[in-house]
A and B are shown apart, each in its own frame.
Chain A
C-alpha cells in the first residue's frame, strides 16, 4: 500500500495537466486534497505494513522496495500539514493564475520526492528522491523571481531579482556538490558492501578499517549540505530569503528537513546504531550548528533571514539528539522535527502576512504592529516561545527529551550547550517580538490591518496544534513509546 504514497501525487500531477485551461484554477485545491490525504494517511496503521492484500496487485506491477514505518508517518504528517499551509499562503500571495498552477504541480512533485525519502531502504534510491525534491524546489525558487520583483515594494525590482538569482544559484551549486559527495559514497558502498541497501551497509560497518565508514562519512557530508548544517549553511539564508512566501514556508517547513535531516535520521536509525565514530561526528556538527546558527540569527534585521538562521540552529538540535542515547535520541529528534516543521511554517506564513501589509521585512522599520495585527502577533509568540523551549508548549518537551538523551549517553557537555543555546534562541526571538510587535506604532504603518482570513486560518490551526501537543504531551509520549517509535 506504500506504493500509493508515490503514485497518488504523481497521478494528481498528470490529472492536473490534462485539465482544460479554464479549469486549472482548481489546481491548488486538488493539491490541497492530496496533501490532506497524505496527512491523514500518516495515521493509517496499514501504511506501516509492506504487505497489504488489497493492494498486492500494485506491488506486482511496480517492483518498488518500499517500507513505511512510524518514522515515515512522521515525515508524511509534516509534509501534508506544511504543504497545505504553503498552498493556502500561495492562494493569497501569488497573484497570477499560471503561477498558482505551476506551484501546485511542483509541490506535488516535491511531495513524491519527500515520500520516497521517507520510505526507501537503500542509499541510491535515497539519493534519487533527494534529487527529485531538490530540483522541484529549485524551480519553485526561480520560477517566481519576476513575481518576487513585482512584490518588492521597498526595493528596486532589479536588486530583488539579483537576490533571487544569488539564493537559487547558491542552492543549486551546493546541491550539486552534495550530489557529488553522495554519488562518490555510493560507489564506495558498492565496493565495500557489494550493495547499497541499508541492511548490507550496516552489516559491514562493524569490520575494522572498513571502507564503508569513509563512504558513510561522505554521504553524511552530502546530507549536511542539503540540510544546511554548519559549515555547509551558506546557501540556506539566501535561498529562504529569496524565495517567494509560499516557497519559503514549504522549504523551511519540510523540504530542507526531509532531504537533509530526515534522511540523516533514517540512516542513523537504520545503519549506524550506537557505533562511536558516527556519534561523535553528529555531536560535534550538531553542537556547532546550534551555536553558530543561533548567534547568526541574533544579528539579523531581516525577519526571514533571522528565521532562516534560527532554522539552521534548530536543525543542529535534531542532529545533536541523534548523537545521544539511541532510542531516546531518535524519539527526541523525531518530535523536534515535527515541532520545528509546524512552528517554522507558522512563522514564515506570518512573515508573508507582514510583508503583504508592509512591503518590507526589515525589522528596524517595524514596531507596534501587535496592536494592528493581534492574531499574527499572538501566533508568532506561540511559535517563537515553542521553538525557544518554553513550557508547556510542544517545543519544551522535544528539547527536554534531547537534553535527556544526551544526559543518558553521558554527554554532559553537549547537554549544557543545548540548554545554554536555548537561552540565545529565546533572546533573538524576544528581540524579534519586541522590534516587530511591541512599542508604539510607527506613523508609517497606521494604515496596516490584520492579515486576511486566508492567511490567518492556517497559522491559528498550527498554533493550536503546538499548544495541544504541549498540554497533551504525556499522552502523546505514551502512544509513541507504545508504538515503538
Chain B
C-alpha cells in the first residue's frame, strides 16, 4: 500500500512536471515517465493487458509529441518562457488540489448503477499478452516509431536546408 501510494505521488509529480515545464523535450520525457509509472501501477494491480496497452500508447503518443515538437515550434526567448510559466502557475496552481479533492470525494460515493465488470481474457502473463495476444499491435508500434524517425530525419533535414 505504501509503495502504491508512493508510486501514485511520483506519477502525479511527473505529470505536473510534464505539463508545467517550459522545455518541450522535458515535457515529452515527463509524459513518458508518467505513462511508464501508470503501466507499473497497472502491472502491480494485475491488469497486464491494460498495462501493455498503456505502454503501447505511450510509444505512439510520444512519437506524435516528438514529431510535433520538432516540426511545428520554435524556441521561445527565455524571458518570455519564464513569464509564461509564472502566469500559468498563477492560473493553474489550485488544479492538482481540486483534482485530488474530487478523487477523494468520489471514492466515498457509491455508483448508483451496478455494472458487471469482466476480467479481460489472457490477463496475467505479460509474455502471453506481448507475444501472443498483442503481437500485431507491437508491429504497429514499430511502424509508429519508424514514422517518427522519418519525421525527425525529414524535419531536421528541412531545418538544415532552411538555415543554409
Contact = CB atoms under 8 A, between A and B. Distances in A.
Contacts of A205: none
A192 B119 CA distance: 9
B120 to A, nearest CB: 5
Contacts of A168: 71-72
A390 B147 CA distance: 41
A165 B68 CA distance: 10
A183 interface: yes
Contacts of A124: 53, 134, 137
A245 to B, nearest CB: 17
Contacts, number: 124
Nearest to A65: B136
Interface in A202-228: 209, 211
B120 A165 contact: no
Given A109-B146, A194-B120, A131 B140 contact: yes
Interface in B127-164: 131-132, 134-137, 139-141, 143-144, 146-148, 150-151, 153-155, 157-158, 161-162
Interface in A65-110: 65-66, 98, 102, 105-106, 109
A64 B139 contact: yes
B113 interface: yes
A112 B68 CA distance: 22
A131 B157 CA distance: 24
Contact of A63 (B60, B132, B155): B132
A186 B116 CA distance: 16
A190 B49 contact: yes
A480 interface: no
The winner among B67, B134, B143, B161 for most chain A CB atoms within 10 A is B143
Interface in B49-106: 49-50, 53, 56-57, 60-61, 63-64, 67-68, 71-72
Question: Dominant SS at the B interface?
Answer: helix
Nearest to B145: A135
Given A176-B61, A176-B64, A135 B118 contact: no
B109 interface: no
Given A135-B63, A194-B118, A142 B56 contact: no
A276 B148 CA distance: 41
Contacts of A136: 147, 150
A129 B150 contact: no
B154 A102 contact: yes
B34 to A, nearest CB: 14
A103 B50 CA distance: 35
Contacts of A172: 64, 68, 72
B135 A109 contact: no
A191 B115 contact: yes
A146 B162 contact: yes
Nearest to A165: B72
B64 A135 contact: yes
Contacts of B115: 191-192, 211
Contact of A139 (B117, B150, B161): B150
A116 interface: yes
A112 B162 CA distance: 31
B45 interface: no
B121 interface: yes
7 contacts: A63-B132, A102-B154, A124-B137, A131-B60, A138-B151, A139-B150, A191-B115
Interface of B: 49-50, 53, 56-57, 60-61, 63-64, 67-68, 71-72, 113, 115-121, 131-132, 134-137, 139-141, 143-144, 146-148, 150-151, 153-155, 157-158, 161-162
